Structure 1
């Protein structure tokens, strides 16, 4: 059993709030940390919403100390990732025992440049200050498929590149449930400085066509959308598989393989793309 009893989730967005709900269902102490002025959040009974300036390490430390937080789970968006360093400083001062940095996407281990380097830098910084980390790689969110490939507006699957690379898709409920499960059941020795690679379903972007009964259109870019163009371009390299080894540009094996951490949630039925989108 886990030795952790008190949790703080930073950010109440698409992933943060589901993780709050999943942890609360485990009957552990949970607070939701949000920035001052953030929109009101509906949380389960017993969960306290605490506003704090996340760029003020002393203020962060005070909140974490007050609530005797053992584990911080950060779910801030990509733009806020570099700012996690100050939150890490506050967590260090407060004696936090484990930090789950904002990953919840493609593998970033070993990345030294480009879009995902900032996430890897936070993991390295946690090691520098002496706080163990647990990183969770999920691939793309299953719910975001229509947005990612432009299906929502055109009823077509838009692919940048060949579209043949295997892609890991994981649903938000599965991400939240897995996170809560491992944090409340595994001992610290199996969580500290570990990478968890989960996968709800594995399929190529070309393979989405038959699932959605939609034509696949190969394009050089998504017009007027640099973020989608970048994400689809990276996906085409194979890097959206949770087993991707970004340093050696190949799939990992064993505990580094895509979906290798699924077995830690014994008996769980992972949601398929068809289930999520009612296809």
Structure 2
């Protein structure tokens, strides 16, 4: 059975570096594409760091082609989401077989028309997914819900999916090195380490929860936007925003977990040592 064996990770931030580390523990070829002006990153010895301008299609394509990269994983943050179309063009030009865009948050596959919530870049992410379909580049989208390590002090009644960063990274490395391409191409994976309404987190932290409609101060606008997004139900990785309901079956929250058989997904208490 032919499996993927050559990868490139774009960006090495909160989720990018853990994914890079997880892949580096496998017997595969791996590159880190980093902007020339980015600060140096500490990476495993078997990872080659290649500085390249993400906005230069020809330059990125040349790097991918010279290293025979089969899979590109983008982990860029919200400011870089829109520029992923350039990375998609470069991957297509280089003959890359699979492109995984930067998702790793709430689901973006069923957004109502005109949706562009800045808290999660949902509209931009969906436009990138549509662009991959237009150019004919096979994609793999991974919805994780909120990172367990970054649980915010927000109020909400709707259930939210939480998944720890190590679980996300381990899952990505496992499926990309164990599953055949036919099971990964043009797929959406919905992960969920634990599911809990935000307004019950107070019990875990032995504190009270205060309901607010707006968060002021530094980053207050973005946090308020995130609050509204999660409280709409979109914090669940199985949420269907267009129809305002939970998906079921193979599209349900956490349905992707079964692709990593035997793995013990970390709970909020385990991750935060509560």
With structure 1 as the length reference, what TM-score do the two structures score? 0.93
Q: Give, in whole Å, the separation in 2 of the partners of 1:133 and 1:247.
A: 22
Deviations 1:93-149 (A, max 9, x none): 10000000000000000324212111011111111111100000000000001xx21
Show the counterpart of 1:205. Answer: 198
Deviations 1:25-68 (A, max 9, x none): 11110101110110111111110011100000000001101111
Show the counterpart of 2:273. Answer: 278
- In the alignment, structure 1 residue 144 sits paired with structure 2 residue 150: yes
Aligned residues: 266
Q: Note if contact 1:2-1:183 (Cα within 8 Å) is conserved in structure 2.
A: no
- In the alignment, structure 1 residue 265 sits paired with structure 2 residue 260: yes
Show the counterpart of 2:229. Answer: 234
Q: Give, in whole Å, the separation in 2 of the partners of 1:232 and 1:95.
A: 40
SS in structure 2 of the partner of residue 237 of structure 1: helix
Show the counterpart of 1:93. Answer: 93
- In the alignment, structure 1 residue 253 sits paired with structure 2 residue 248: yes
Show the counterpart of 1:195. Answer: 188
- In the alignment, structure 1 residue 20 sits paired with structure 2 residue 20: yes
SS in structure 2 of the partner of residue 229 of structure 1: helix
Cα-Cα RMSD: 0.9
Show the counterpart of 1:45. Answer: 45
SS in structure 2 of the partner of residue 49 of structure 1: strand
- In the alignment, structure 1 residue 124 sits paired with structure 2 residue 126: no
Q: Give, in whole Å, the separation in 2 of the partners of 1:2 and 1:253.
A: 31
Q: Give, in whole Å, the separation in 1 of the partners of 2:232 and 2:211.
A: 15
Structure 1 residues 112-121 or 178-187, which shifts more? 112-121
Can you give the 5+ residue segments of structure 2 that lack an aligned partner in the other structure?
none
Can you give the 5+ residue segments of structure 1 that lack an aligned partner in the other structure?
150-157
SS in structure 1 of the partner of residue 199 of structure 2: coil
Deviation of 1:249 (Å) = 1.1
Moved over 6 A (4+): none
